[in-house]
Amino acid sequence: MITHSGLYRYTLMICLCSVVYCAQAQLAIHGQVTTAGLPLGGVRVDARLDGASAFMAYTFTDGNGGYRLALGQTGRIVVSFRALSYEPVTKIIELRQTDTLLNLALVPGGVERLQEIIINAKRPYGRGRDTIELDVKSFLQGDERTVEDLLRKIPGLNVGTDGSIKIGEKEVEKVMIEGDDFFEKGYRLLTQNMSVQPLDKVQVLQRYSNNKHLKGIENSDKVALNLQLKEDSKNQWLGSVSASGTPVEPFFYQASINVMNFGKRNKYYLLGTANNHGLDALSSINYLLYSGQTDEPGQIGVGITTPTLIDNTPDLPGFDYRRTNFNQDKLLSFNTILNPSKRLKIKWLGFANPTKKSFYRNTVQEYDIEDIQFTYTEGYELNRKINNYYSRWEMHYDVSNRSTLIYTGSLGSLGKYDSGALVFNGERTTELTKMKGYLTNQLLTHTYKLSDNEAIVSSARWIMQKSPLHYQIDQYYYDDLFQVGDVSNVYQHAKNDLQYAGITSHYVKKKKGGDFMEVAVANEYKSQTLVTDFILQREDGSQIRPSGFSNQVNFRTNNTHVMTKYTIKRRMWQLTPQLRAGFMQRDLSNDGVSRNQNNWLISSSLFTKWLIHHKGKLEGELSFQQMSSELMDVVPNYFNTGIQNFVKGLDDMATLNNSAAVITYTYGNMLDKFFANFSLGHKTMFDYISNQRSLNPNFNLTEQILLKDKKTMFYKAQFNYYVKLLNGNFRVDMGADFSEYETSIVGVGKRRIESGSYDYGLSFRSVWKSRLNIHSGSHIQIRSFNSEHMDRLKNTYSFLHIFFNVAEDIQANMKNEAYRFGDFLSESPKTYFFSDVSLSYDVKKIKTKFNISAKNLFNNRQFSNAIITDTYRAITEYRLLPRYAALGLDYRF
């Protein structure tokens, strides 16, 4: 029911919108821009009052050269026309009538048209053919410390909780500094640690090519960011040192040092951090270990790694992990890019990440499936030691102007030791997990540009990885499973090795009119060894190896395949059919018994893009794919994945078939007042791997089974709208996933599952030119599973961030959050409130910022989170870092 005050607000808003609309409709300048008699798109047209510096309005010409400027007043108007590689033109007109026609012809000249260079201007943004340039000063509000803090405030850039950066639904390829890239997809190391102070511009590079010889050839829709520095920050050593700590117990600290020198020829970036207040630096390195793009010409072996057998990493869906992460995290990193000559570039990255973590949780799981009804309880305290050391080096050598050889090598030592104290169904035990692994990855790539519109890219990659695992518990829970008594300890030793070699060659060509062709041939060989030895040790020291619970598997595959695709490009649309055909040879052996399988794998797709108008783009894709089962899908005997779970694979190797359809509509871009994207997709898995479970309060046996016809559907939408009346940006996020599939429970049979997931969010970020700014929003998450009965869970998250400039050099911030988790298991829904505050004083004379901060003001010591799956429902209680206040400083040099 709408109240009187609500009706008044709605009426006022409608009136204001009507006034704005009418004002825009009353006065306008329109016309067409041409060159040599042909329409010219992408020309910037702006208008201002004669004698004034502020713009009244601006726009860009469409594909037909047309434009329209809506103005709010009459008078002497200065209209400017600018485009790269054309002489700028300025016209002065007396605007008196409602609609004024102004046609114009531009003459070639001025700056040479480059794909990723634009003309700088004193405005918040600039736009070139493939580049959007943002003025950093226009987005600063005073509380920014790192590059990531800045990027979060730029409309259209979506920074995730893990530090990933997306524009629409596309994640950026890399974040460069002055055109050079340090970390590829591991850019979080840079954005989460580099100070924002030296930055001048942020460039969004569209249609980006990772390979410089493919610029203007490949049909790319990739996006990258380039950070441009202030002139006084180039070619000299600069950086920052920050430290903070609590003066009284509980003691928390944070310290970091960034030292950098970004010269024209050589670049250096040194980083050291240490903290025990929850910030995790490890994830950034993980993105470096397995970086690469599968759809990149010349790429092969991307994402190849050993499988994970046991993972004790806490799962915190929808919650800030830093509030539960009791850590002692250290990271040292030295990175450099050298240019000894014009033809040679050398890059070296080095990391050391010794870390300790602790984690506490209590879990209650409820199983209620027909006659199977029981409750499982677990109290868990995890203490983890991590020792990761990683080095990566690259060499780029230009053999000629048309040929480049790139060598990339990496070497990593990955160590992890977990000690868990458990109370499992009322009985205490100690769980130990130890892994000491090694990884090396070598890649050689050669690019030869045959002509201005065609090239050959060839690559060879070799990977070797060893991930041994040792697992132990000092309590025996499996009497009902093994019918063995007097057992004191349970062990599992695992050998987990991988060898990979791959070679590929891609031919790419861009034809006149924009048509694009790509042909590739490749061969990939992969050899995996998995040996699991499951042991029951009795009180007298004797050992028992239960039948069917150990493995000695060798899995070898050899895949030779060809790929071809052709893009038909016309003025407003394009069509890309693609076909991939491969011959897969597989050999699976266990305890000396071998099985072979050879078959063809065919995948095809049809992609189309239609430019409906100068701001609207419609994309669609139909695909059919055949995939082969992986190692973990065909392990013949059970292996242990944790204290409660045993898993085995299929009875034989399988080929999985699926088809999918996706349609995406995009309106506008990040410079527009309104921009949006919407996606809708459907997927049918004609063959899919599901599970058959045997449930017991002390253990679960899971056997993978092959079933037919799993269906999934999703939609996702994002709307961004800048409201001038409120001087802020509204953002709406919507998404849903639906699935229909089957699982099986021993004693119950097959179960038909219908699952649904709904996510809705609304947020507002102000850009007020005042002391006060806010960022506020709310997010609703709904999960449901329907089989024998319906389970439904609703969680909500709301936040209010307040930024207040007390004085020119004093900033105050408050971050408020509210989490509300759904109810079941006789638990009522509960709302948890969190509040963090900070106050900083920037003494510019000594380049130092002093700050005081307080975390978790309400001193929440634990919170309970609800989870539902197609098998059980659970309540998990987590321990939180306590309330604390810290003093700190940040010195820039």
State the CB neighbour count (10 A cutoff) for residue 651.
12
Please give the pLDDT value at position 68: 85
d(CA 309, CA 434): 12
Which pLDDT value is given to residue 317? 67
User: Residue 479 in 3-state DSSP?
Assistant: helix
Q: What are the tokens at 398?
A: 């230009």
Q: What is the pLDDT of residue 129?
A: 64
What are the residue ranges in the chain where pLDDT is below 70?
Answer: 1-26, 52-54, 72, 84-85, 97, 109-129, 282-286, 289-294, 317, 823-827
Q: How far apart are CA 194 and CA 192, in angstroms?
A: 6
Unique residue bearing structure tokens 């806010």: 774
Secondary structure, 3-state, 554-573:
EEEEEEEEEEEEEEEECCCE
**Which amino acid, 481?**
L
Instruction: Yes or no: say if 293 and 210 are a contact pair by the CB < 8 Å rule.
Output: yes
Between CA 192 and CA 829 the distance in angstroms is 35
Q: Which CATH class is domain 26-109?
A: mainly beta
Looking at residue 705, what is its pLDDT?
A: 96
Residue with token string 């242990």: 640
Do the strands 125-127 and 749-766 form a parallel or antiparallel pair, or are they unpaired? unpaired
Q: Do the beta carbons of residue 627 and residue 645 sit within 8 Å?
A: no
For the entire predicted model, the pTM comes to: 0.81
Task: Return the SS3 of 844.
Answer: helix
The per-residue b/e assignment along 355-382, b for 16 or more CB within 10 angstroms, e otherwise, is bebebbbbbbbbbebeebeeebebebeb
Tokens, residue 838: 């900070």
CATH architecture group of domain 114-241: Beta Complex (2.170)
> What per-residue confidence (pLDDT) applies to 1?
40
Q: Which residues of 475-489 are buried (b: 16+ CB within 10 A; e: fewer)?
A: bbbbeebbeeeebeb
pLDDT tens digit sequence for 41-53? 778 888 888 776 6
* pLDDT for residue 282: 64
44: which residues sit within 8 A by CB, 6+ positions away? Answer: 58, 59, 60, 80, 81, 82, 83, 127
The per-residue pLDDT for range 592-624, each reduced to its tens digit, is 889 999 999 999 999 999 999 888 999 999 999
Q: Where are the domains of the chain?
A: 26-109, 114-241
The pLDDT score that the predictor gives to residue 395 is 96
How would you classify the pairing of strands 99-101 and 27-35?
Answer: parallel
Q: What is the pLDDT of residue 399?
A: 95
